[in-house]
Amino acid sequence: MSQPDLMSWRMEKDPVLRSTIVAVALLDRSPDQERFVRMMERGTRAVPSFRRKLVESPFGRTPPRWVDDPDFDLSWHLRRIALPHPGGLDAVLPLVRAAAMSAFDKDRPLWEATIVDGLTDGRAAIVLKVHHSLTDGIGGIQIANEMVDFERDGTDRGPLPEDPPTSAPASALADSVGWYLSTAGEMVGRGVPWLVRSGLRSVTNPVAALRSVVDTARSTARFVQPVFTTLSPVMIGRSTVREVAALDLPLDALRQAGRAADSSLNDAFLAGILLGLKHYHSRHGAQVAELRATLPISLRRESDAIGGNRITLARFALPLDVADPVASMHRVDRIVRSWRDEPAVPLSSAIAGVLNVLPAGVLGGILEHIDFLASNVPGSPIPLYMAGAEVLRYYPFAPTVGSAVNITLMSHTSHCCIGINADSAAVPDLPVLVESLVEGFGDVLAVGGEGTRIEVSLSATTTAQT
């Protein structure tokens, strides 16, 4: 386990911080069972971590070890059910909610895939549940590309890969020593270039070198600074109960809104969230200047292995007192860009290592006072197929990890698929939040001259509260 992987694992000592990723692939037809099993078999051979389980280490702060599961049974991880009555994504979301709220069997590999038949017009869905310690969002897309087809009739990938070789069982002590060495190597690999640059600068410009060291120390302090209260006076409760919803809007419309404001798609996405949260707080009679957000910053390099976590979590305040969507996009761009350029970003593994030394309760205290988490994951620009069925939409429902709500966008062909995972203690009226977000994204899309209809899906339990 890397330090970021370990942080995703350790934080679950507090169940509010459960790190379960759930994704829904909405399909145009029911997938062929035999082809589906073969697809998943290929995937687990191509990405052997999906055949491994975690074993706790007896040595202090050393993380659990990934070991081959001698009892790996693919059929246990694959399920198939049918809805009692035809429905759309609304009918699938209660299954997403249950998956997000339930823990894994930690004696088995940490993933499950469920085909859901019986949707309206002969459609189907696949609900995929994965523990965050296995992968981040971009890693998940890489894993999916090892399994899916690019044509309905299938993609010739040759014969199934051989069974991944069973790793030799190392002793816990040897494995622990190896982890410390590899962790040190990773830190050196990412930190040495910074040290070299600092060393050279100290010779040619000692004043600038000292300033760089001070700036990096301050930046590191900002990354690990404790947070003791929410900025939102409304979204303050925390619990283990979740409610989920989904939004669907055209990718080109959101991209055009960003371009019209001389901004990016990500700026438009975050501005839509901020305007939506502004509307939500106004509906609750609260005027808030800013909210504290967590944004994952990808550190993934081409040389990195598929899967795993190659991100750092930046926590910072974003403005809620900006009503103009163009001004909001510009403010977002400046703030996010400054955090991506923080001197401490290359040292993120070391920072995660510091956080991993802290008691889980302290880590929870830091994360449970974040107002919201947002993430933008680039998906596939071309059609994908699963066992003969075309993927129409692909919705991500990422964990709240202590925040009031996680709002994650994944692009798929021409669509922005937005998954909303909310802590019901913080957001007891999810339909009101969804309505507010629709209004906020509507404000942003209008910048691009688009009067686009935004599709909304709510789970049955959420709808019952309206």
Mean pLDDT by 10 residues, the chain (466 residues): 70 84 97 95 88 80 82 96 95 96 92 97 96 78 84 85 61 54 52 49 48 55 73 96 96 96 97 98 97 83 68 85 97 90 66 63 75 94 96 96 95 97 97 97 91 81 46
Residue 233 has a pLDDT of 97
Domain spans of the chain? 3-146, 176-224, 242-378+402-458
Q: Examine the residue annotation and report whether 412 is marked as an active-site residue of this protein.
A: no
Query: How far apart are alpha carbons 133 and 17 in whole angstroms?
Result: 13
Q: Return the axis-axis angle of helices 348-357 and 172-204, rounded to nearest 10°.
A: 130
Q: What pLDDT, on the 0 to 100 scale, is given for residue 167?
A: 55
| pTM for the full predicted model | 0.85
Provide long-range contacts, Cβ within 8 A and 24+ apart, for 60-66.
61/356, 61/357, 62/176, 62/179, 62/180, 63/1, 63/5, 63/6, 63/9, 63/10, 63/179, 63/356, 64/1, 64/9, 65/1, 65/170, 65/172, 65/175, 65/179, 66/1
Confidence (pLDDT) at 346: 65
pLDDT score for 344: 66
Burial of 212 (0-12, 13-18, 19+ CB in 10 A): middle
Neighbours of 199 (CB within 10 A): 11
From residue 202, how far is each of 207, 296, 299, 347 by CA, in Å?
A: 7, 32, 27, 20
Q: Domain 3-146: give its CATH superfamily.
A: Chloramphenicol acetyltransferase-like domain (3.30.559.10)
State how far the Cα of 458 lies from the Cα of 418, in Å rounded to an integer. 12
- What pLDDT score was predicted for residue 200? 45
Domains 3-146 and 242-378+402-458 share a fold: yes
Q: What does the pLDDT read at residue 169?
A: 53
Residue 145 has what pLDDT? Answer: 79
Cβ-based neighbour number of residue 452 at 10 Å: 17
- The whole-number pLDDT of residue 65 equals 82
Per-residue model confidence (pLDDT) at position 209: 46
The CATH code that applies to domain 242-378+402-458 is 3.30.559.30
Q: How many CB atoms lie within 10 A of CB 164?
A: 16
Contacts of 151 (CB under 8 A, 6+ apart): 385
Q: Active site residue: 77, 131, 132, 369, which one?
A: 132
